[in-house]
Amino acid sequence: MAAALALAALLALLPACGPGDGKVAGVTVNYGISNPWDSLMPYNSISGSNYARMIYDKLYDRLAYVHADGRLSPRAAKSWEGSEDGHTALFHLDEQAAFHDGTPVTAEHWVETFTLMTDPACPVLGRGNFSVFTGTDQDGCRVAGETFGVEAVDEYTLKFTFRDPTTPEDFLLNKNREFYVLPTHLLEGEDPAGLMELEFWKAPVGSGPCRFLEEVPGSRLTLAANPDYQLGRPGFDKLVITVMDKSNLLTALIAGDMDYYAIGGNITTENASLAESSGLTVLKGTVPNTFFELMLNAERIPDARVRRAIELALDKELLCEQSTHGLGRPAGSSLSPEGPYAAAAEPAGARDVEGARSLLAEAGYDGRSYTLVCTSNRAGLAALMQQNLAEAGINITIETVDSAAMFAGMADGTYDLGIASHTPAALPLWFTEPRLSETNNLFHIADLTPYSQRIQAIRAETDVDKRMELVAELDSYLAQERPFIPLWFGTALHVQSPTVANIDYPSASFSNENVWEWVKE
Amino acid sequence: MESGKRVWFRLRSDRRAVVCMVILALEVLCVLLLPPLLGLEPNVTDRTAGFWAAPSAEHWLGTDDVGRDILARLICGGRISLLVGFAAAAINLAVGVPLGLLAGYRRGAWEFWIMRLADVFQSFPNIVLTLCLVSLMGASVLNLVLVLGLLGWPGIARLVYGNVLSVREKEYILAVRALGGRTGTILYRNVLPNAVAPVWAALGQRVGRAILSESSLSFLGVGIRPPQASWGNLMQSASSLAVLTGRPWVWLPPGLLIVLTVVCLQILGNALRDAMDPRAARKER
């Protein structure tokens, strides 16, 4: 009774937080999002968040569509092929693709976009992504006198030349969400230095499945379906994207004020039964979409035996259960258990408190206390870890901060341990490569050479079997050194839209949504 | 100065105050004595019961998201909440009363600087300032007490200041001054007893407000450091829709205890003010 009353009261309050006057004529899909986009220019996002990417995904086109299981489907590119040495890739563009002003999208548009974005004078955010191409420096700026690795072979064939061997599939899995084609024919003659300040970005023209209609910055964005999108016309007329507090998304869906919410209608196990009792269908994700790890500061915990002891002391089964409520599996590696390199992954291993104590004694652990940092919603998880570690004789104190402060604190060495989660990818180096580099030595490893040599060897190896061996070797080394502790992979629950069909919920975790296939009933 | 016995007698004659005193005394006794007597372990996970277990004979209020006994956390959390409340109010008093006395009695530059400082403190939204300071200093019981205590003095100082302004012009104060009484003695023996009575009523409010502030900060995730329990961070779980609608036993008891404590403190503060008012004593005579 109390539950029903509380829910009724919440639902009664909802009309005030709904889309309100944002409702427009025609078939409208009301889309909720918990964080606002910071710009409508895809290369000018300060946050670089997945929420901003969800907006760009609608307005602009990407080369491919990435499925949750690692499969790739055509989008702006119909097909692609890589060279034998892995240094070049050809993308055959869809001739039907056109900007919202009717101009066909050609390879030249892609080249001009990439040329503009790698111009050192242009204040691009996230330019480092372009450093994969030859002719750029490590910041992604074009280097004068060198040939830029992005060329138009013909009107509809785009050629990329990579600095390191990369298959087009790996490139797309890793970078697809970072690259969009811009209507450079509308930007001709503009000063690159002032590009981001143009009025154009207040009502941009893209070539994505939706066209811009109007925006209330930070609050609401109204888009229209692009009837000429090369993959098909979305099954609605308008898409109204409204920013709402995260805690209101589910209640808005239950109340019928919302058709769908980002990202992927994700829902906690706790709220799943509530959603089901309200008549909504809850779907279980098909592949792991969350990877939890315990970050370690190797400068503060220099002995690998202590780091391994921490891993042995943790009850990963229990922690995984507390966090995922049965929707996860403990991990001993960052390699996705459903990915192509799963066979190379180290097993999770069982909890061994005695083994942890022995390692600590061997390492001469002096009983010092470490600081574990996490976001406040993971305080319970941290408390469980504290109990686990105390049983082995390791003392920790817990600090709860926001996510940005946590990563900043881990980077500057303020904290010793930290709980973080990530969206896993099928690539073998998706986790290790960005975190074990000179530019981002998040785990404060004194000598990165053993890691960078192994990573480089994997990148250079194009033979599948040999690459698998190298990946297994790196994973084994990681298990020995333990710069971070893999905890578990979790699978999401998605609450199904009661009004919109054909939504590919799991793939939303990979920053793309198949809106051209959505149909509002 | 009023004798303690007389104040106690007057306080006892107020039935509502007695009931509130008994409730508060019971609360304090429970949070202090029950944990060692019953061997309560608020930070230990019961793996058998599991996470979010419903109330049972073993766990009267069920278990939380980590499998910890909610009743044990409620009782032990009361220690923190009451400690924060009383300690912050004591700091309010220790800083606010002397500054209010000085500003009201000495006037001039003392009055100007103390009251302008109070204006500065009061011009900031209290919860925002508290949130920022606790975030900067780090969440701990000590920091929370210091921040809440040091930010709450202007209200007490203003209250005392206002009363001192009228008391300092009374004939008996002028007489003591004319007889050559020292400022410190006049303030302590003559001004303070006649100006401080309303502070007792405010003190109850202060304790209640500090408990509520701790609860708000814990609810926002910047209160007490985990895994320590407080009534505020027990309430925090109600931010989940599933807990709010499906597990009232998790958030209702701490919520009720916060309300009960604040109401009792308010009633007791009013009764204490009346009991310590020297004018009440004169009426009795």
The CATH number for A132's domain is 3.90.76.10
**Residue A201's pLDDT is what?**
96
Q: How far apart are CA A386 and CA A380, in angstroms?
A: 10
**Residue B172's pLDDT is what?**
86
- Kindly identify which residue of chain A lies nearest to residue B50, measuring between CA atoms: A322
**Residue A341's pLDDT is what?**
92
The b/e string for B55-91 (b: 16+ C-beta within 10 A; e otherwise) is eeeebebbbbbbbbbbbbbbbbbbbbbbbbbbbbbbb
Contacts of A325 in chain B (CB under 8 A): 51
Residue recorded with tokens 């074990």: A436
Contacts of A247 in chain B (CB under 8 A): 239, 241
Same domain, A56 and A82: no
Distance of CA A234 to the CA centre of its chain: 24
The tens digit of pLDDT for each residue in A27-55 reads 999 999 988 898 999 999 887 788 899 99
* A2 → closest Cβ in B51, B241, B248: B248
Q: How far apart are CA A287 and CA A505, in angstroms?
A: 11
Of A69-83, A170-184, B236-250, B270-284, least confident by mean pLDDT is: B270-284
- Identify the CA nearest to A340 among candidates A167, A505, A477: A167
* Residue A4 within any structural domain of the chain: no
Phi, psi of B229 (to 5 degrees): -105, 150
- Identify the CA nearest to B126 among candidates B148, B156, B98, B106: B148
Question: pLDDT band for position B7 (50/70/90)?
Answer: confident
Reported pTM = 0.77
Give the distance from residue B65's alpha carbon to the nearest chain A alpha carbon, in angstroms: 7
Question: pLDDT band for position B131 (50/70/90)?
Answer: confident
Question: pLDDT band for position B178 (50/70/90)?
Answer: confident
Contacts of A318 in chain B (CB under 8 A): 45, 47
Of A400-404, B181-185, B207-211, least confident by mean pLDDT is: A400-404
* B226 → closest Cβ in A3, A251, A379: A379
Is the pLDDT confidence value at B188 over 80?
yes
Same domain, A178 and A220: no
- Residue A384 half-sphere exposure toward CB, CA atoms < 13 A: 24
Question: pLDDT band for position B128 (50/70/90)?
Answer: confident
What amino acid is encoded at A367 in this protein?
G
Residue B260 contacts residue B267 (beta carbons within 8 Å): no
The CATH number linked to A396 is 3.10.105.10
Torsion, Cα of A33, A38, A40, A41 (10° steps)? -140
* Residue A180 within any structural domain of the chain: yes
Q: Please give the order of strands across the beta sheet that includes A266-267.
A: A266-267, A493-495, A282-284
- Supply the DSSP symbol for B257: H
- Kindly identify which residue of chain B lies nearest to residue A386, measuring between CA atoms: B227
* Residue A13 within any structural domain of the chain: no
- Kindly identify which residue of chain A lies nearest to residue B51, measuring between CA atoms: A322
Q: Report whether CATH 1.10.3720.10 matches the domain B2-39+65-284.
A: yes
* Residue A193 within any structural domain of the chain: no
The count of structural domains within chain A is: 3
Instruction: List A328's β-bridge partners, or say none.
Output: A490
Q: How far apart are CA B239 and CA B247, in angstroms?
A: 12
Give the distance from residue B221's alpha carbon to the nearest chain A alpha carbon, in angstroms: 6
For chain A, list residues whose CB is within 8 angstroms of any CB belonging to chain B: 2-4, 6-7, 10, 247, 250-251, 268, 270-271, 273-274, 318, 321-322, 325, 376-377, 379-384, 386-387, 397-400
The b/e string for B126-144 (b: 16+ C-beta within 10 A; e otherwise) is eeeebbebbbeeebbbeeb
Domain enclosing residue A408, as ranges: 290-490
**Residue A2's pLDDT is what?**
45
Where are the alpha helices (H) located in A364-507, listed in sequence order? Answer: 379-391, 403-411, 432-435, 449-460, 464-481
Same domain, A85 and A172: yes
Q: Can you list the residues of chain A whose pLDDT is less than 70?
A: 1-25
Give the distance from residue B86's alpha carbon to the nearest chain A alpha carbon, in angstroms: 25
Instruction: List A261's β-bridge partners, or say none.
Output: A32
**Residue B171's pLDDT is what?**
87
Q: How far apart are CA B32 and CA A45, in angstroms?
A: 53
**Residue B221's pLDDT is what?**
67
Q: What six digits make up the tokens of A474?
A: 């790196």
Q: What mean pLDDT comes out for the span B224-234?
A: 87
Same domain, A425 and A314: yes
CB spacing of A271 vs B240 below 8 angstroms: yes
Residue B55 contacts residue B62 (beta carbons within 8 Å): yes
Same domain, A37 and A142: no
Distance of CA A412 to the CA centre of its chain: 23
Residue recorded with tokens 């042995």: A312
Phi, psi of A83 (to 5 degrees): -80, 165
